[in-house]
Every structure is written in structure tokens, then in C-alpha cells.
Amino acid sequence: MNRLVIIGASGHGKVIADIAIKNGYDNIVFLDDDKHIKMCAGFPVIGGTCEAEKIAGDKIVAIGNAEIREKIQSGIETVTLIHPNAVISRRVRIGKGSVVMAGTVINSDVTIGDGSIFGGPVLKGDAWGYTYTPVASSVLAGLKASDGSYYKRVQVGIKLMEGEAITEGKKSYKVSEVGLIAILNYKDFNVQADTLKNEYALVSLEDSNNKIWAINGYVNVPFTFKTKEQLNMNDFHLYAVEAKEDTLVTRLRQTKGADDAYQTGGALISFHMPFNDMEFRDIFDQVVPKSDTIVVKVTAKGENDKELVSTVKCSASNMQGSY
């Protein structure tokens, strides 16, 4: 099988790499403009997106932003990847560079344009605040852990019930299919920040496809870091620092690492606001919303004594109403 070049070393790229393996690809490489990313899904990142045209191999674009994806695809030939567990009618036309994910059902006489990501809208957790109601409980079977309980924080692909369509201003939809893409790590804010002893420099507070978002009581933070050993989410802590007018200032801290770390990794952690903790509540209550809108500011120590900062606006009542 020819080499596959995946353009975009992100969470979506990891999903595409898994589909590619199931399609027989065993020589997979990534391209990404973030020079700090060296590996993705166990495969090497060998250059930037501008090198796509000159690198040999089949190509596919794994970037969630539709405008960027279309721009990159316009200059290269791309392949289509279909998960073997997808059910597709023989009377379906699928455009170049499209990805059809596991569990997708596409009925007869459907045409899918070039560069489509099909399997229903792909949602990053609760980023848009939509509510999805399954037409039957069996629709959510793929979101259960081995003990029968539902995963609490997941990234999913969905298929809307026939007759439903994403409509401006509408927040509630019925879905006929839900497919698990990724299980999200989640933990509470740290409420004992004074006990944290170390702070190692992070690389960034975002990745190529994600920036922070906050909704339903969670602050979701994508970030990249350096390490010499395997880390887990217990080595990263988010805590409230202070309130400044309409802004809650927080700090993301890596407490395990090494000053001479060389390997770059990435993570996305959903941090839950602990409103039952009095110290956190005291800080949060000092934030002054503007028409119910507040700003969550995430700071972190960066490389070369640089201060990393990322901010997001959210609803104060929504954040408090979900704990």
C-alpha cells in the first residue's frame, strides 16, 4: 500500500490514522505547521503543510476548519477514507478527500462533496451548547464503559434524525446515531494550589485545531508540553488565582517533568469548576458578569520565561448551573 500523508497532526488526525490503518495503510506520516509536534498517533510529523505537494504518497487533510481544509485541498490530490464499519448504499457518491467514520449509515441517492467529514456533525464535547436527544436508548450504547456506565466526557460524531437540520438559534436536536471518537480526560480544579511544589514550562495553550472553551461548568484546555517520561492528567493542575472585574484568572501548572525535556506531547483536559469548595466560590463570586458574560483567563509558564495566556467568554449562570 502507498504511503499516506495526513495533513494536520491533531485529534482529528489521530482518528483518520486509525481509519487509514483499517484500510491497509502501514506507512503513515503527518504534516503540521506546529514545529513543536514531532509525533502524532505513534507516527512521525515530517514537515509543514506547505510541503504537502512535494511529498510523495496518498494525501488527506485532517483539519477541522472547513475553510482551511478546502484551501489546502485545492492544491493537491486527495484520497477518500471509509471506515469498514460504515454502511453505505451503492447509490452514494462520495467526493475526494472525504472521511466516513465508523458507524455511519448513508442511505441511497446521497451525494457527499469533496473534503467532507461524514458521520454527522463532529462535536468537540459541548462546544456549541447543543442538546441531543437519542431516538432510542440503544443509540448511546457505544458511549458505555466496560462496567455499563456512560463515559462522562466524550468527543462524538452524530447523525441527526431524518428531517432534522442544524438551524440558527435552535439548540435541541434528535439524533439517530452517535459514534464515540474519543474519551476526554476530566478532573476538578485544584483547590490546594499552595501544596503544588513544581512548575515546568508548557509549549502552548492550544493545538492546531482547538482553543479553550468553557460551558456547563467545565473549562476545556488543550495544551502541549515537553517531557522525558510518560505523564498523565494528574501531573497537570488548573486552579483559580483571582477575580479581576469580569474575568476569572486561572493558572495551568505542570508539576512533573524535567528542565531538559525534549519530547513534545499534547493533551486536552476538561477541568470542572468546584463550586462546592468555599475558597473557589469566594473567588468566583467576586467576578462581575457583563450581561451574564464572564471571561475565563488561563495562564501558564511558557518556555524562555514567556507567559502563556488564553481567554474565553462564557455564561456565568450556565457555568454555575451545572455543578
Alpha helices by DSSP H, listed for 5-65, are 11-22
Residues of the chain with pLDDT under 50: 120-125, 127, 322-323
Cell of 76: 493537491
pLDDT at site 285: 94
pLDDT at site 152: 75
CB atoms within 10 A of CB 305: 7
Q: Any idea which residue has 499516506 for its cell?
A: 4
pLDDT at site 127: 42
pLDDT at site 81: 92
Q: Domain map of the chain by residue range? A: 4-118, 122-183, 185-320
Alpha helices by DSSP H, listed for the chain, are 11-22, 66-73, 278-284, 316-320
pLDDT at site 121: 34
Class of domain 4-118: alpha beta
Pick the CATH number of 185-320 from 3.40.640.10, 3.30.70.360, 2.60.40.3220, 3.50.90.10: 2.60.40.3220
| Nearest CA among 170, 103, 167 for reference residue 139 | 103
pLDDT at site 120: 38
